[in-house]
Amino acid sequence: MLFVLLASVNHLAGHQLILFRRAGDLDPANVRFMVAANRWWRNLGGSASVLGALLIVVFGLPALDRAVPVSKQAAASATRHEIAGGVSLIPPVGALISKRTRSDAEEGTALFLIGPARYVVAVSRFEGDLPAASTRLRDKIQNMRGYQVTAGETPVMTASGLSGRAGTFTAPGRVGRYAAYLAPGHLIEVTVTGSESDLRMALERVDESMATIAYGGEQK
């Protein structure tokens, strides 16, 4: 035998709550009312879902965004940064300072990020000439697995007059450029790595930064 369950929330005004009556005993007017009431409650439930989603977007997402930890990387200012041993530079525009280390006052390293490209400047004690400085950096690069210097070197010079030599290399999935500069009693080693597209986007800013490398009172 067929039974129909009829129910309303808080008993809709003017209508009696009917439970488990046989379908054949139902008044057609009651049936039409129950169908309409059921549709009304479904529409109300859908509206509540939309309102709930809107409230999550307006109030929930900003709170979630504030809860995400801030990266330890810091935006590099356009002011001069000392690496070590009196050697300093102005970072590339828009770069992040990812890491800075110093073994002592005379030796240190700074890693800057320009998008995915990595720009590393290292300063160490050195008493040799420029060819020896360039050979030392080139050997470091080629001793890393998968790295290979790809072309001859070209002379370079910073705006403050520090002389150097520059070249290019390849690495697994990456390409790079390097430069070795001499400062009094110090070697400045510069490497830039990234994908070909990343490097193309970063090189102009990196070249501008490299031109600002200076030693002591020679800063410009």
Torsion 102-147-191-203 (CA) sign: negative
Distance CA 192, CA 117 (A): 7
Name the residue with higher pLDDT: 97 or 7: 97
> 17 pLDDT exceeds 70?
no
Question: Are 160 and 86 a contacting pair, CB within 8 Å?
Answer: no
Q: How far is CA 18 from the centre of its chain?
A: 62
pLDDT of residue 79: 84
pLDDT of residue 62: 36
> 199 pLDDT exceeds 70?
yes
In the block, tokens 């035998």 appear at 1
Question: Are 192 and 118 a contacting pair, CB within 8 Å?
Answer: yes
> How confident is residue 8, by pLDDT bands cut at 50, 70 and 90?
very low
- What tokens does 41 get? 């409650």
Provide the residue ranges of all domains of the chain, joining segments of one domain with +.
3-67, 74-218
Enter the DSSP assignment of 78. Answer: S
Question: Are 180 and 130 a contacting pair, CB within 8 Å?
Answer: yes
Question: Are 203 and 120 a contacting pair, CB within 8 Å?
Answer: no
- Section 3-20 average pLDDT: 40
> 40 pLDDT exceeds 80?
no
> 68 pLDDT exceeds 50?
no
Range name among 81-95, 165-179, 204-218 with the lowest pLDDT average: 204-218
Cβ-count burial 42-70 (b if 16+ within 10 Å, e if not): eeeeeeeeeeeeeeeeeeeeeeeeeeeee
H helices then E strands: how many in the chain?
4, 14
CATH architecture of structural domain 74-218: 3-Layer(aba) Sandwich (3.40)
